[in-house]
Every structure is written in C-alpha cells, then in structure tokens.
Amino acid sequence: MKKILFSFTLIAFLSLLFQPVCFAQKSSTAIKKEMKKRASKDARKQAKQYQKEGYKVNPGALPMAKQLEKAWIKEYEEDDLGYPKYIVVPGQAVGQTQTAAKLQAIEMAKLELAGKIQTQVAALIENSVGNQQLNNEEAASVTQTIASSKSLIAQEIGRTITIFEIYRNIKKNVEVRVRIAYNSQMALDAAKKVIKDELMDKTEIAHEKIDKMMEF
C-alpha cells in the first residue's frame, strides 16, 4: 500500500514539475501564431492605405501586404537569448529616377539605424563611464565623441537587407519608401568599433580605460 501511495505521489509530483514547461511551450507557440495573425491583419490594412496613396511594388516583387508582414515579423524576431535579432528601420526619398530614390532612401534608413544603435551604445557606455574613474574633461570627450558618431556608424554598417520597397510617381520624380533590416549584434559591433577608434584617435583618454569602457 505504501509503495502504491508513493508511486501516485511521484507521478503527481512529476506532472506538476513538467506542467510549466509544456505550458510555456504552448504559450510561446500561441504568441507566435497570434503575432503572425496580427501582423498579417495590420499589413493588409497598411497596404490598402499605401495603395490609395498611389504606391506600387516592383514587377515580380512580393505583394505589398506580404512585404509588410515579413517586415513586422522580422522586427519581432529574437535571438537565442531573447533579444531582438534585427533592427528594422524605414527610409524615404524622392529622386529623378527610381534607382536614385531607392539608394537615397536606403541611406536615410542607414542613418536612422545608426541613430538607434548610437543611442543604445551611449546608454551602455554611460553605465561604464562611472566605473572607469574618468575626470570631467574625459567624460565630456566621451559624450561629444558619441554625439558626433552617427554618420560614421552609418558608413561602418555593411550590407543591409531591404525587406520592404514601394514607389510612386510624383510629377517628374519618383518617391521610394523602404524598410531595411540589420543584425543587432553586427550593428552593435560596428558602433563600438567606430566610437572606440574615435576615442583613441581624438582624445587623451588612456587606451586601457577605453578598452575597459567598451567591454559590454
């Protein structure tokens, strides 16, 4: 009787032990399905608005709604640690040709991307500055260097993924809207490299301090 009671107790304990895991897996799957469903719904709505405004997609490209859906899903994609895997940003430009407008739109998006990663790096460095015992002048140099690094970070960023592209004719010109995606870790590495090089080249801060400051 004691053995039977022990068996039932063990089974009940194991059931309680593994129940949260199964529930978490179901919840994660359900969240992804809900996210995709919502992205699809919002994408169709946004695509209709763009179409009313005269925007079109290139021949042979994915339908506008499908491009938007993929863009939004990519924006919420996570890495193994649960952090955003990609940074997704928009860009918009007008040019005499569609190609010229697209290139300019991508450059504008890169600047937007650089601004986002610049803000993130600034916050990380700010947390690190206090631990490096920098004087007021050194701390000011760090702040100034970060503030002026946006365009340099944009130049350092490599090839991006264009996940959304539409265009419309405006009199004799063409307006292009894009959304680009870039790996978050690669963006962070690019920003760290730019800021570290600038600090070493243009400030009097000891290189050892800079190296420790950039360890995040």
Q: Can you give the pLDDT of all 216 residues of the chain as single tens digits?
A: 444 444 444 444 344 444 444 434 445 566 567 667 777 888 999 999 999 999 999 999 999 999 999 998 888 888 888 888 999 999 999 999 999 999 999 999 999 999 999 999 988 888 777 666 788 888 889 989 999 999 999 999 988 999 999 999 999 999 999 999 999 999 999 999 999 999 999 898 888 888 888 887
Amino acid 212: pLDDT? 85
- Contact present, 88 and 75 (Cβ < 8 Å): yes
Amino acid 10: pLDDT? 40
- Contact present, 106 and 69 (Cβ < 8 Å): no
Of 54, 169, 63, 154, nearest in space to 106 by CA: 154
> Of how many residues is the chain composed?
216
Other beta carbons less than 10 A from residue 18's beta carbon: 10
Of 171, 179, 180, 178, nearest in space to 96 by CA: 171
Dihedrals phi, psi of 214, to nearest 5 degrees: -90, 10
CA-to-CA distance for 176 and 104, rounded, in angstroms? Answer: 9
Amino acid 96: pLDDT? 96
pTM score, whole prediction: 0.78
**Parent domain of 64:** 2-213
Residue with tokens 């039932």: 8
Overall domain count for the chain: 1
